[in-house]
Amino acid sequence: MTDTLRADGRTPQQTRPVAIERGWSAQAEGSALISFGGTKVLCTASFTPGVPRWLTGKGTGWVTAEYSMLPRSTNERMQRESIKGRVGGRTHEISRLIGRSLRAVIDTKALGENTIVIDCDVLQADGGTRTASITGAYVALVDAIEWARERGFIAKRAQPLTDSVAAISVGIVDGVPLTDLAYVEDSRAETDMNVVVTGSGDFVEVQGTAEGAPFKRSELDALLDLALVSTTELAELQRDALAEGR
């Protein structure tokens, strides 16, 4: 019975309810408040003409990302990294992952010498915050590019976006492959995998980790199958959110 398998009654193939509140921020050039069940991430895209010095004059743009969690987004309060005076390894790692994932669908030549900084701030965390961040960040990114095009910073005909991108966490819990792990599932998973996939179904990142026992090739294959189903659904939700007028 699947209802005993997953605390919230989902089937193994079923993601939590996903909502994308596009244009949440009145300040940013692009933004989305995305939720996967109890996980809520505010994604903003900040557009600025020009690029960092090391890129100047090369005719290419720059997209980067920063991820952070509010101190009480989690069940127990965490110390702020600004107070600690240093950004932790996990934060760095996820920020870099989000940046790489978005750059995989960006033609930096077409973007021109412009910079887009994506901020993904986790307001509430219940598993899958990095994959929710990537999925929401894409929507914010699209709107920031559109904003810049309307104001002439990006040429009318330029196509900086080559595809869409979304991500999901999948894992094996009690021997069963499950998609979109909630926090309680994630902490019990034997194997945990974050998969970033384009709208065309190609892989951008595949990160599988044996939390408990090492995993077999067949398990890896089952998880990738599951991830592709979920990211196809997420790509559709992104399209729907972007279809509405801002």
Residues in contact with its own copies by CB under 8 A are 25-28, 31, 38, 42, 44, 46, 48, 66, 68, 70-75, 77, 80-93, 95-96, 100, 104-105, 117, 119, 121, 123-125, 163, 193, 197-198, 200, 202-210, 213-217, 220, 224
Closer residue to its own copies (CB): 14 or 74: 74
Would strands 30-36 and 203-210 be described as parallel, antiparallel, or unpaired?
A: unpaired
Taking the C-alpha atoms of 23, 151, 199 and 237 in order, what is their torsion angle to the nearest 10 degrees?
20
> Amino acid identity, residue 144?
A
Distances (CA, A) of 50 to 63, 145, 148: 12, 14, 12
Q: Is-contact 66 95, C-beta < 8 A?
A: yes
Please state the residue numbers annotated as binding site. 90, 128-130
Pick between residue 217 and residue 246 the one whose CB is nearest to its own copies: 217
| Nearest residue (CB) to its own copies, 55 versus 224 | 224
Beta carbon of residue 153, minimum distance to its own copies (angstroms, whole number)? 15
**Residue list, annotated binding site for phosphate:** 90, 128-130
Number of CB atoms found within 10 A of residue 37's CB: 20
CB of 102 to its own copies, least distance (A): 12
Q: Which is nearer to its own copies, 8 or 11 (CB)?
A: 8
Residues 211, 186: contact at Cβ < 8 Å?
no
Both tokens of 230, joined, read 């979920």
Q: How far is the CB of 156 from its own copies (least distance, A)?
A: 25
User: What does the alpha-carbon distance between residue 186 and residue 171 come to, in Å, rounded to a whole number?
Assistant: 7
Burial class (CB in 10 A: 0-12, 13-18, 19+), 199: buried
Q: How far is the CB of 179 from its own copies (least distance, A)?
A: 17
Pick 81 or 233: Cβ nearer its own copies = 81
Q: Tell the residue number behind the tokens 């107070």, with chain if given.
A: 83
Decide: helix, strand or coil at residue 238.
helix
Q: What is the nearest approach in angstroms of its own copies to the Cβ of residue 92?
A: 3
